[in-house]
Structure 1
Amino acid sequence: MTFHPRTAARPLLASLRALLVLTAITGVAYPLLVTGVAQGAFHDRANGSMAEADGRKVGSRLIGQNWLDAAGEPDPRWFQPRPSHSAHDPLATGSGQLGASDPTLLATVRETREQVAAFNDVPLDAVPPDAVTGSGSAVDPHISPAYARLQAARVAGANGLRPAEVARLVEEHTEGRDLGFLGNERVNVLELNLALRALTAG
Structure 2
Amino acid sequence: MQRPLLLLASLAVIASPVLAPALLAQGRHNSQAPINFSANHIELQDKANRAVLSGNVSVQQAEMNLTASRMTVAYTGQVVDGSPQVSRLDATGGVTVTRPGQTARGQYGIYDLNRRVITMLGGVTLTQGGNSVNGSRLVINLDTGRATIDGNAAVGGGSAGNGGTVRQSGGRVTGTFSVPKRQ
User: TM-score w.r.t. structure 2 length?
Assistant: 0.26
Give the number of the structure whose residues are more often strand, by fraction.
Answer: 2
Q: Which has the higher helix share?
A: 1
Report which of the two structures shows the higher radius of gyration computed on alpha carbons.
1
TM-score, normalised relative to structure 1: 0.24
